[in-house]
Structure 1
Amino acid sequence: MQSLRSCRVAGLAIFAVLFSQFSSPLLYAGGGFFRNGAVGGVAIDASGVLSQPTVEATQSLVKAMQGRMTDVPAEAAQSTEMRKISLRQINAAIEASATKEVRDLPDEIKYLAGIQRIKYVFLYPERNDIVLAGPGEGWTLDQAGNVVGETSGQPVCLLEDLIVALRSSEMARQGGISCSIDPRPEGVVAMRNYLEGKTYQPQVLDGIAQSLGDQMITVTGVPQTSHLARVLVAADYRMKRIAMGLEDSPIADLASFLSMMQNSRVRLTNMMPRWWLATDYAPLSKSEDGLAWELRGQGVKAMTEDSFMDANGVAQQAGQANPIAQQWADDMTKHFEALSKQEAIFGQLRNAMDMCVIAALIQNEDMLATVGCELPMIYQSTGAEIEVLNAPKSVGTQCSVMKRGRDYIITASGGVSVDSWQAATTSQVSPRLSSVRSQVEYKPEGFWWN
């Protein structure tokens, strides 16, 4: 294994993370509203550079969104554990709408009637319909411009994410869905050259950030310009900032990785802790007749593995994990539910993962053929029009410092991995689900009901 000993800065462990200055999150064109700063507290400019918006920009965003939102219907404002969404009726509503642009559809449709997590899939061949169900309530905006439940604060599921997940299911089958943020190999080599023979001085940190340069953002499996892609990137970005102590954890039980290292005697190695968020489902439950399905499990877990940089600056897996990095990943997983209530982006990530699993399930089980239904507005690119956001391409580097012996570690990689097809193709029969479906009254009027 290539040693990083030549890159040491005496007395320091240096952690490279992701940072850039503010760029405007709002663009207006032809009356359209483009949310280039409405996801996870990040903005992405026309060049693809990810940044954090200022407080003023976020407030402007919230004000603009509030001006577009309509009152929540009284029935939709009621909290329920089983809100039902008809895919056939959503398709019909889009088809009947004066606009095919999702952003201009009524709030009820855009926000899927306030459903906060899709837990069930029910098939109705006699109605030529597939119904999605889960907890729901009325919706509002949080301080960052996320659409969340009025009482729970959990983000609602978005029609545009569901459409992207359904349209991308075949691409996901072939190669999965993922995002990653990684240092450029030439930047790693330049950083090594910069550090040769240096001892620590405060200005060294600026030199490290400058030599390492921008880091690459890669998205696969879904359109890079989609809101769903933005969710993947923003969740990874927020996770790293919390891990590296660049922002306070919103929950007391999740300390930063840096503080955990400071309070431990674990020796730093010349490797790079790497975290990523991955799907985490128990086997799906299904009825004996295959007309009812249930997603089970938390849905998301944090994982870690050490990596090291080879002579060309390319990250290589080390096959083991720093025990403190592993502990931090375990804590992130353990407290994910509480975290998602405080940081909407993590709830949005789980919603996105759920929808990707459901999209794979519908395709794998050939559910559209089973119910005799076509959904051209939802599935076809000539149907509902998804808003095109700026594609994330790069993010700058900021250093956070912790003294520990003579070694340093660079944590500049990680990402999100959505293995939707693995989750969708693992199931077990549960007789209980037949009774659950039988208790769900199908209502042909409207596209949702409690």
Structure 2
Amino acid sequence: MPYQGLPLDRCFRRFAFGALVSCLMTVCASELMAQDSGLLYTRPPAVGGIAVNAEGVLSNATVDDTGRLARLMKKTLRPVPSDLAQATDMRMVSLRKLEEAIASAIEKGEPLSDEIRYLAGLQEIQYVFVDHESRDIILAGPAEGWAVNAKGAVVGVETGRPVMLLDDLLVALRTARPAMTEVISCSIDPTPEGLNRLREYTENLGPVADRRKAMASFKELLGPQKITVTVVPDTSHFARVMIAADYRMKRLGMNLDQSPVKGLPSYLQMLKTTGVGANDMFPRWWLEPRYESVTRSPDGSAWELHGASVKTMTEADFFNAAGQREQSVEANPVAKAWADNFTDKYDELAVADPVFGQLRNCMQMAIVAALIVKEDLAGKAGYSLPTLLDPTDVEIEKLPAPKQVDSVVSSLKVNRNDWLVSTSGGVSINSYAALQQVKENASLAAVREKATGKQSTTWWWN
């Protein structure tokens, strides 16, 4: 008997949906915005692959937008000094001397150099040292020379990994204390009104054979979705990166974008392959930081953050009759398998799609900022980071705040009785949670002595 369509009242109950939001991916705006302080330059057409208009509506960046951004970036980027172009496993950045370099540029009315804005090509913060003699805090990790890739992101010449940005570090440091009581996060969610409209629609309609028409109705009924950002300014590049990475993850999961790495099928493709149908629950995926270990020296003046990565978490949501999230429960096995695979492929994704690498950088900086506050490293160093912490000295870039995005529905017939419509989720950075399990490592004292013992006239050294 030919398939005649699925009754939509059953369809609604068996959907794993929650409309997928086309959030704008934003590529490195902090690399191009101009203000009187010289920190920021020319506003780019897109950041991280998404765009936000003046009304705060997100949309997917076009190929032309991304191409124009890459061309603009290449024109404004200065050649990397030869001593910085050398790749190294350990580059030190002095926060005291970095502040002095920033203050000097501002006093002279000069724009901040690429070296400052890209933190000397630092790509990971693996160590944090307190230098008591110099009254300083030193960040250290792998670094290399940088260039603009085809997507307009500033990445390492050899590895292709995004470099860390001063602008994101400023946001992390300035929000570290509020992050003690509230998790840094972003989420994109359907409104209760939209969910109710869709529920009423499905309860009053019978079988529907025209899948395309049904999907269009779902999109219209769900309406715009709300974008929420906590702790960090919603106008910041940091916030834009969180939203962009969340958006890209959802599009990959819902089969709307082709995976840039091998071995990462979409969630919908996995459902079809396994023959497992969608259930009553709303699958939700979110990204959060993870470390293999955090260790410190006996005196607490040297810290190592080892094995930084990003983990994809999942659960399923139920919504009540009022359209409110009522409870979350364990996700179905396929949703969990997709999340685990996304976690396993994250390092590859961080190079293939730079926004994932940028998100990892932001997470690391948030955790380092939390470490500085939690362990009072500034107090131990005898230096309060006045320039980096004062928003009047160095302003962060301001982008249009993302407020909403149109619902985008993706469907795939899994079996005779199942359709699937997108997911919900977000990014969650509990920056203090990573510091709860700390082990002592006596060998870190020697690493610190070697890192701080080299005299340097610049704010960075290898």
Partners of 1:14 and 1:402 within 8 A in 2? no
Partners of 2:26 and 2:46 within 8 A in 1? no
5 Å matches for 1:51-450?
51-98=59-106, 104-195=111-202, 196-198=204-206, 199-201=208-210, 202-403=212-413, 404-440=415-451, 441-450=453-462
How far 1:231 sits from its partner (Å)? Answer: 0.8
Partners of 1:278 and 1:418 within 8 A in 2? yes
Partners of 1:14 and 1:400 within 8 A in 2? no
How far 1:22 sits from its partner (Å)? Answer: 11
Secondary structure at 1:391 match in 2:
coil
Secondary structure at 2:428 match in 1:
strand
Structure 1 distance, partners of 2:338, 2:188, is 19
Cα deviations across residues 255-305 of structure 1 (Å, max 9, x unaligned)?
110100000132321111100001212341111121110112333100000
Aligned residue pair count: 446
Structure 2 distance, partners of 1:335, 1:13, is 24
AA at the equivalent of 2:185: S
Alpha carbons of structure 1 residues 422 and 120: separation in structure 2 relative to 1, 3 Å: same
Secondary structure at 2:411 match in 1:
strand
1:49 aligns with 2:60: no
Secondary structure at 1:127 match in 2:
coil
How far 1:174 sits from its partner (Å)? Answer: 1.2
AA at the equivalent of 2:62: T
AA at the equivalent of 1:84: M
5 Å matches for 1:29-48?
33=41, 35=43, 37-48=45-56
Partners of 2:27 and 2:47 within 8 A in 1? no
How far 1:221 sits from its partner (Å)? Answer: 1.2
Partners of 1:120 and 1:293 within 8 A in 2? yes
What 5-or-longer segments of structure 1 have no aligned partner? none
User: Which has the larger displacement, 166-175 or 430-439?
Assistant: 430-439
Alpha carbons of structure 1 residues 36 and 218: separation in structure 2 relative to 1, 3 Å: farther
Alpha carbons of structure 1 residues 320 and 14: separation in structure 2 relative to 1, 3 Å: closer
Structure 1 distance, partners of 2:28, 2:367, is 30
Which of 20, 27, 42 aligns to 1:17? It is 20
Structure 2 distance, partners of 1:99, 1:23, is 31
Alpha carbons of structure 1 residues 23 and 47: separation in structure 2 relative to 1, 3 Å: farther
AA at the equivalent of 1:231: V
Structure 2 distance, partners of 1:22, 1:305, is 24
How far 1:413 sits from its partner (Å)? Answer: 1.4
Cα deviations across residues 291-343 of structure 1 (Å, max 9, x unaligned)?
11011233310000011221011223331111000000000111111111111
Structure 2 distance, partners of 1:413, 1:67, is 38
Partners of 1:377 and 1:384 within 8 A in 2? yes
Secondary structure at 1:251 match in 2:
coil
Partners of 1:22 and 1:54 within 8 A in 2? no
How far 1:109 sits from its partner (Å)? Answer: 0.1
Structure 2 distance, partners of 1:398, 1:381, is 37
Cα deviations across residues 344-382 of structure 1 (Å, max 9, x unaligned)?
111111111110000010011111111111221101122
Instruction: State percent identity of aligned pairs.
Output: 43
Secondary structure at 2:306 match in 1:
strand
Alpha carbons of structure 1 residues 187 and 366: separation in structure 2 relative to 1, 3 Å: same
AA at the equivalent of 1:449: W
Alignment TM-score, normalising by the size of structure 2: 0.90
